[in-house]
Amino acid sequence: MEKRYCPYCGSLLKPFIDHEGKSRQRCRNCGAVIYENPIPATALVIPKPDDARQILLVKRAVEPCKGEYSLPGGFLEIDESSEEGAIREMLEETGLHGKVKKLLGVRNQPSPQYKMVLLVGYEMEVLGGELAASDDAEEAKFFPLDEHPPIAFAGHRWFVDNYKSLITNY
């Protein structure tokens, strides 16, 4: 949905073509240019503490892709780093306390709600807690890397493949 009003002064926006030839919106009153930016989120590969060849997947309790499996993760809050968001999301969705072990990469993921999500993927280490699905997940379960259900999002599949390539003798 295209914005109609300026987030700064509330006046109507008007379309224009910028110097790069891109269609944008500009406020009729204050002149602010409205840029659309991707929404930052995390995607977490959480290996089973005693078996690095099993990873934690969650069954989604909300759209998009409700009822399908994905990596745990979610949107960053304005006052946290991506690492802090990863740790928070791990606890919220899985009941597990953890820490960031390794950056797996950064990927764009198209989104029907937000146009584009910027995913930051991390390998996490479990430090404690009790495995229990909560928040946006209706189930949280470890699966073997070669025998897991389909993963709903292409960006999440990329992080799982990246993690697989990091495991020696896989």
Q: pLDDT by residue (tens digit) across 86-124?
A: 999 999 999 999 999 999 999 999 998 889 999 999 999
The C-alpha atoms of residue 93 and residue 136 are separated, in whole angstroms, by 6
For 2, half-sphere exposure in the C-beta direction (CA atoms, 13 angstrom radius) is 9
> Of 2-6, 32-36, 65-69, where does mean pLDDT reach its minimum?
2-6
Instruction: Give this prediction's pTM.
Output: 0.88
Q: pLDDT by residue (tens digit) across 155-165?
A: 999 999 999 99
Structure tokens at 18: 């910028």
Residue-level pLDDT at 88: 97
Structure tokens at 56: 């934690």
Catalytic residue positions? 139
Q: Which fold has domain 1-35?
A: Ubiquitin Ligase Nedd4; Chain: W; (2.20.70)
Where in the chain are the domains? 1-35, 39-166
Domain 39-166: homologous superfamily in CATH: Nucleoside Triphosphate Pyrophosphohydrolase (3.90.79.10)
Q: What percent of the chain has pLDDT over 90?
A: 85
